[in-house]
Structure 1
């Protein structure tokens, strides 16, 4: 299993970077986890839009799904459109982004697969387990298992025992870390810090931790240091074009 970071910025993309988006590959199958602002150009530096086999969107905030629109355009508005791509999302999560074009324009480009957080899914070679994690809108964390390897991704979430359960003994946890150590009071139930991500990775026994969704301007070394206060394993920060072998 291999993960390529398309972007790891929270809120908006910094210059030269992109918001949340990850390409996960296993046995020739290509799965996208989120497609936030500016991720499509990053994706196209690695594969063409028609080479993607499935898409999973954690929640409906645009820094996680805005580039689904140009991604589907890149499949639909070509002379030889590929077969429709399965798109997995919670009910209603994609209503806004799919409404950007005239009704029906992109219908042939995708097959919607709505699920309830807590469902188990089979996506190509991946066995996917989902959990509802706390955020301002419904957000589905996902645990992918394939080839004896496990990757867990939180989307955006406040601290929760469900994050620990999602990441239990995972080879890699990709965890939201919007802040360094302290989360503002009005966001404490809905977002996490790098230190909290480290604490939850430690509690879950995760082998490696990849911090994502850092606010623009956050010092990456400071984020790693904050996570290391709670977690002794390998820590990295999600930046565009980083490739991680989940092994």
Structure 2
């Protein structure tokens, strides 16, 4: 299994960067997770739009799904439109982004499925399990397993006991870490810090931790230092171009 980070900014894309966007590959099957702002140009630098086999969206905030629209346009309006793209998301999460074009324009380019906790999904070689995690809008934590390897992804989430189960013995935990150590009080139920992510990775026994969704234009070092207070395993920050094979 291989993870390629296309973008890791939270909220909006800093200059030359992209918001949340992750390509996960195994046995030639490509799953795009969270096509947020500015993700598509980075994806197209290495992968044609028609070569994406499935899309997973954790939640409906545009920094996690806005570039689904240009991805579908690139597939639908090309010379040889590919088969409809399976898109999996929490109920209602994509209503706004899928309504950006005139009715019916992109209808044949995708098939929408609802992610539901306790209802595993088979995508090519991947098994996908979802957890409902606390955020400002419905958010699905995702666990992808293939070839005996596991990637766990939190989406955006506040504190939750379910995070340990989501990340249990994962080969890689991709965890939201908007702030290094302290989440502002008004957002504390809905977002996480790097310190929180390190604690989750340690409790779950995750082999690697990748911190993502850092606030734009902030250096990764404070987040890495905060996570290292709780987690002693392999630790990285999600920057565009980072590739991890496991």
Question: In the TM superposition, what is the alpha-carbon distance from 1:217 to its structure 2 partner?
Answer: 2.2
What is the TM-score when the length of structure 1 is the normalising length?
0.98
2:123 is aligned with 1:115: no
- Across the aligned residues of Structure 1 and Structure 2, the Cα RMSD in angstroms comes to 0.7
State the partner residue of 2:59: 59
Q: Does 1:84 align with 2:84?
A: yes
Tell me, what secondary structure is at the counterpart of 2:222? Answer: helix
Measured in 1, the distance between the counterparts of 2:181 and 2:222 equals: 10
Q: Report the Cα offset of residue 74 of structure 1.
A: 0.2
Distance (Å, rounded) in 1 between the aligned partners of 2:125 and 2:92: 26
Following TM superposition, by how much is the alpha carbon of 1:221 offset from its aligned partner in structure 2, in angstroms? Answer: 1.1
Instruction: Report the counterpart of residue 223 of structure 1 in structure 2.
Output: 223
Query: 1:235 maps to what in 2?
Result: 235
Residues 90 and 140 in structure 2, CA contact (< 8 A), matched pair in contact too: yes
Displacement of 1:120 in angstroms is: 1.1
Shift in Å at residue 159 of structure 1? Answer: 1.6
Q: CA deviation at 1:115?
A: 2.7
Moved more, 168-177 or 104-113: 104-113
- Unaligned stretches of 5+ in structure 1? none
Instruction: Provide the C-alpha distance between the structure 1 equivalents of 2:117 and 2:178, rounded to a whole number of angstroms.
Output: 23
CA distance in structure 2 between the aligned counterparts of 1:60 and 1:157, rounded to whole angstroms: 13
Residues 115, 140 of structure 2: 8 Å contact kept: no
How is 1:5-16 mapped onto 2 (pairs within 5 angstroms)?
5-16=5-16
Structure 2's unaligned 5+ residue stretches are none
In 2, the alpha carbon distance for the partners of 1:175 and 1:115 equals: 19
Alpha-carbon deviation of 1:113? 1.1
Cross-structure match for 2:137: 137
Count residues in correspondence.
246
**1:23/1:33 contact within 8 Å kept:** yes
**2:117 match: secondary structure:** coil
What is the rounded CA distance, in whole Å, between the counterparts of 2:44 and 2:185 in structure 1? 39
Please name the residue that 1:185 is paired with: 185
Matched with 1:163 is 163
Which stretch of structure 1 is more off in the superposition, 218-227 or 201-210?
218-227
Per the TM alignment, residue 96 of structure 1 is displaced from its structure 2 partner at its CA by: 0.4
For residues 61-101 of structure 1, the C-alpha deviation after alignment (integer angstroms, 9 at most, x for no partner) is 00000000000000001121111110001110000001100
State whether residues 90 and 117 of structure 1, in contact with CA within 8 Å, keep that contact through their aligned partners in structure 2: no
